[in-house]
Chain A
Amino acid sequence: MNHLLSWIIWLPILGMVSIAFVPRDKSEVIKKIAAVFSGLQLLLAIYLWRIFDASNGTFQFMERAEWIPSFNITYILGVDGLSLPMVFLMALIGFIGVFVSWNIDKAVKGYFSLFLLLNTGVMGVFLSLDFFLFYIFWEVMLLPMYFLIGIWGGPQREYAAIKFFLYTLFGSVLMLIAILALYFTCGNTFDMLVLIDTAPTALNGMLWWGMSAIKVIWVLLFIGFAIKVPVFPFHTWLPLAHVEAPTAISVILAGVLLKLGVYGILRVNYNMLPDGVFWFAGALAVLGLINVIWGAMCALAQTDLKKLVAYSSVNHMGYTLIGMAAVIAASEMNGENLISAQAGLGGAVFQMFNHGTISAMLFILVGVIYDRAHHRDIEGFGGLASQMPIYTAFVAIAFFAGLGLPGFSGFISEAMIFIGAFPIFKTVVIISTLGILLNAAYFLWAFQRMFFGPANEKYNDIPEINKRELFTVIPLAVITLVLGVYPRPFLDLIAATLNVLIESVVSYGGLAAAM
């Protein structure tokens, strides 16, 4: 297939157009169309995975087309070991999300149209290699997200939606300035491949108001991406948006949207401004640590199960940041510890993927109990294990995966991150292992309060998790377990690309001192 990546991006839009022709009362048809198109997308993503050459660390399946030549804007797509797992994750979660949303009964047509539009936006960000295109996709996600939270969300949905919108827009306009600054300082191009080559040297020694241009652009881009991750102190939109959003949207938000931030930092900041990585790595590790501890502490204090899961995302993304910071271990001044850099960065990317599957699972399971009990108060349950045994088993899997128990994929990635970061950021790693403990504490405590103890009489007749819901959870649980015992396929997939990335970051390491 020639335009494989274009198909993956634009299939949901085709689905959206098809939905437009269906009368709005035929909600079954609309749901089926959404399922078919995201199913096709998932098949293409799997196919892409199969034919992807993992030994090659460069971009593959490139597509290039003229767009607006007068401003050097081109339609460029490409996939590498960094974006491929994310594409697969989005396709999987997009497909599962359709089934999670099966119970939606308010304005079904609008819901699924926006849902598919969101899917296209996310895919576009992961696959585009032209900065202009990247930015358009990045922003295209915002409006559907606003509507999905604002119309189909919980009681505080209006506030949550606008807060999400304002926060992310604030981040992305800063990004726009950085993109334009890169455009004009690095030879008038939006082509990321060219920028990856030229940007690391083009900005050397350039000063803006006495500050190094590299640092300024780094920080602008970082804030833009950090809001998405979300990195402390830009995280306050997240718990609110998560709690108010409908289940499927929380799933997408935690499962994929948060990864956009990390992906952006790796793709743009790391690739184009390697000097800045050395300057910022320490701060990145500390921010990661704050995320870990702060997220865990907040999660511990929650009585709302969904909020607890939301804060666990803040906690989990913190590990990713620490792993990313470890990349500087490979530089000359840090002893050329390539293994450590590989472990750290590999762990970070793996953690991204694992958090995608695990948090998606967690949010789906929260949605399952909310659909039945119409509240999410942890204290309001008790002894659910006897009332819903199958559900309990899946929650147990999800919670254990979330707290990083060996045998689940989360353990591998967190271990890799710690191994990678330890040689350089000893203190950070030591303190953040405390996060693991807190992590276990809030999950286990919540589990105990909800599922053990005296059964709440009110829920004696609560229906067990149904087949549709199982269908959405099982694939995620399987992936978590399989990658937990045999992570090799995943790590092989990303290794070549990450080696290229590490090499490019490190080869500019010597310049950092000159800044």
Chain B
Amino acid sequence: MSNLNSLAHFWPELILTVTVLIAIIADLFYRREDSYKVAWWILGGLALTLFSIRIGGSLISSLFMGTIAIDPFSEFFKVLILLSTTLVILMSFNSKELKDYRVGEYFSILGIMAFGLFLMVSAIDILMLYIAIEIVSIMSFFLAGYLKKKPESNEASLKYVIYGAFSSGIMLYGLSILFGLTGTTKFFEMQTAIASLGSDSSLALLLAVVFILVGFGYKISAVPFHFWTPDVYEGSPTTITAYLSVAPKAAGFAMLIRFFNQVLGDGSAMTSSTWLALNGIPWPQLIAVLAAATMTVGNLVAIQQKSVKRMLAYSSIAHAGYMMMALPLMSESGIYSIMMYLTMYLFMNLGAFYVVIYVEGTSGGESFEDFNGLGWKMPFVGGVMTLFMVALTGLPPTAGFIGKFYIFAAVIEAGSQYYWLAFVGVLNSVISLYYYIRVVKHMYLIGERSETVEIPSSKLVIALLLFLAIPTFVFGWYFSPVVNWISESLVIFNGM
């Protein structure tokens, strides 16, 4: 579709851009203590964006001369991104860390980040892909270092910049090799070109894909490209940690799925069963090993943490590992299960982080000791935190179990060559129980019943916690709506 015609189908992104511009200008007119009001502009814009996605119709096509796809698949991820951005903005109102700063830009940057993520989930051209990743990365650097008076936050930002620049440099190198091999930047043309490559270029192709994988692995914090994660997650404002662990990860998976299916897969996006032109290189096994390493490392290191926030950071690496298990399967149910997991993960993980934010605000810390007796002092907060922990472990009847169930089902369905991966996965769930339940232990097994019980004084806190907790519980035994939504969204633009 030509550039001018494309604009008519680009409403969500356009609305988002205009919103951010309005918010930046509006911010100039607010006094310092009122700067949080910028958030309402952004929230309004996000709502309009969601609306425009829903009424956007079911066109499946490519825009802007074949650089961006619109399809139900990207719409699914856009909804997830909007949902998590909205939730994180609302969560930021109660953040104690952000109280000392002017937060106008903070909300605007979140808006820009959402825009970048939108591009990420729909890019079908390596240039667009790279630009999208850079938009997201640079905004993340800002946000990670937002607490400029806190050394850890500055450290987080700097580390993030260095790792980010390095990995995107390598990725760019890989992309340029790929361009050299195929002579095109478009996914589908690459696919055809790769299919007809001779075996003499398989080494170059291998290098290119490994380098690109570094960039992707960095984005979803897969082992061994995860080293930035804990420090960045710990130093950033907790709201941003929550955001980074959900939204960019979701977008990263969308990007991975698209890239692997459409550039390295055999064409028909959802059912491709062969990996192109990579003679003798066992790609699926390689990704499977990375998945196993990711969850194992994430879990084993999470056990040793003293801070709940850092524990959640490591455990989010493990969660990326669970989702990666379904990547090498190249099956429809594999992609389906990743989407399922991301949906469930959004609620339970944001919920867990929100409780950490709340506890930071009331008792001042984020270590395990700060949770001592919480369940007795604040039964409501303790109860929902228990739910989130149980869900993150993957026990029924919670959303976390359903997410894991679909992943394991997809892995087992793929045949006995992947059974070992399922074993590693379930054993990791058992390991994760140990540190998730440790939070519950500190909340209930330590401390006594207190005479007075506290409930959060802010209605927003209660509403948000309920909004996150109810789906976490209900989707554990009634997930047909999610199933239907994902089934409808399982249509990827395939170049036709």
Contact = CB atoms under 8 A, between A and B. Distances in A.
A180 B396 contact: no
Contacts of A107: 376, 449
Interface stretch (A158-166, A259-267, A325-333, A420-428): A158-166
A389 B323 CA distance: 64
A157 B390 CA distance: 20
B412 interface: yes
Contacts of A151: 444-445
A107 B395 CA distance: 25
Interface stretch (B62-70, B132-140, B429-437): B429-437
A136 B477 contact: yes
A174 B444 CA distance: 29
Interface stretch (B19-27, B106-114, B416-424): B416-424
B269 to A, nearest CB: 21
B286 interface: no
A244 to B, nearest CB: 12
Interface string A153-192: 0000110011001100110011011001101100000000
Contacts of A135: 396
A68 B376 CA distance: 37
Given A68-B483, A177-B419, A139 B401 contact: yes
B413 interface: yes
Contacts of B423: 177
B301 interface: no
Interface in A134-148: 135-136, 139-140, 142-143, 146-147
Q: How large is the interface on B (under 10, 10 to 19, 20 to 34, 35 or more residues)?
A: 20 to 34
B170 to A, nearest CB: 37
Contact of B444 (A140, A150, A177, A184): A150
Given A139-B396, A143-B395, A176-B408, A208 B483 contact: no
B437 A146 contact: yes
A143 B441 contact: no
B182 to A, nearest CB: 37
Contacts of A184: 409, 412-413
A176 B441 CA distance: 26
Contact of A180 (B409, B449, B479, B483): B409
Contacts of B408: 176-177, 180
B405 to A, nearest CB: 8
B427 interface: yes
A467 interface: no
A157 B445 CA distance: 9
A162 B303 CA distance: 14
A21 interface: no
Interface string A51-87: 0000000000000000011110000000000000000
A169 B396 contact: no
B480 interface: yes
B176 interface: no
Interface in B241-278: none
A161 B408 CA distance: 27
A488 interface: no
Interface in B378-411: 390, 395-397, 401, 405, 408-409
A453 to B, nearest CB: 40
Contact of B433 (A147, A165, A181): A165
Nearest to A108: B449
B427 A165 contact: no
A107 B450 CA distance: 10
Given A106-B449, A136-B477, A208 B419 contact: yes
B426 interface: yes
Contact of A177 (B412, B434, B480): B412
Contacts of B445: 150-151, 157-158, 161
A184 B408 CA distance: 12
A140 B396 contact: yes
B395 A139 contact: yes
A150 B376 CA distance: 14
A255 B483 CA distance: 40
B487 interface: yes
A169 to B, nearest CB: 5
Contacts of B396: 135-136, 139-140
A173 B419 contact: no
A158 B441 contact: yes
A70 B449 contact: no
A124 to B, nearest CB: 11
A68 B475 CA distance: 11
A137 to B, nearest CB: 9
Interface string B425-457: 011011001100100110011000100000000
A140 B473 CA distance: 13
Nearest to B406: A71
A170 B430 contact: yes
B300 to A, nearest CB: 15
A176 B433 contact: no
Contacts of A173: 426-427, 429-430
A162 B437 contact: yes
Contacts of B412: 177, 180-181, 183-184
A70 B480 contact: yes
Nearest to A181: B412
Contact of A68 (B397, B440, B479): B479
Nearest to B479: A68
B375 to A, nearest CB: 9
A412 B441 CA distance: 44
Contacts of A71: 409, 483
A156 B257 CA distance: 48
A204 to B, nearest CB: 15
A150 B441 contact: yes
Contacts of B449: 106-107
B433 A136 contact: no
Nearest to B438: A162
A70 B430 CA distance: 28
Contacts of A181: 412, 419
A71 B408 CA distance: 13
A452 to B, nearest CB: 40
Nearest to A158: B445
A419 B302 CA distance: 53
B378 to A, nearest CB: 14
A173 to B, nearest CB: 4
Contacts of B376: 107
A451 B395 CA distance: 46
Contacts of A140: 396-397
Contacts of B401: 136, 139
A143 B390 contact: yes
Contacts of B416: 208-209
Contacts of A147: 444
Interface in A206-220: 208-209
A166 B444 contact: no
Given A70-B483, A136-B396, A151-B444, A166 B434 contact: yes
Contact of B397 (A136, A170, A174, A176): A136
A371 B427 CA distance: 40
Nearest to B445: A150
Nearest to A146: B437
B339 to A, nearest CB: 14
B395 A142 contact: yes
Given A166-B430, A180-B409, 14 more contacts: A68-B483, A69-B480, A70-B484, A71-B483, A107-B449, A136-B396, A147-B444, A169-B395, A169-B430, A170-B427, A170-B430, A177-B422, A177-B423, A184-B409
21 contacts: A70-B480, A136-B401, A136-B477, A140-B397, A146-B437, A147-B444, A150-B441, A150-B445, A151-B444, A151-B445, A158-B441, A169-B433, A170-B427, A173-B426, A176-B405, A177-B422, A177-B423, A181-B412, A181-B419, A184-B413, A209-B416
Chain A to chain B: the 10 pairs with minimum beta-carbon distance, closest first: A173-B426, A136-B396, A180-B412, A208-B416, A150-B445, A139-B396, A70-B483, A170-B430, A184-B413, A169-B430
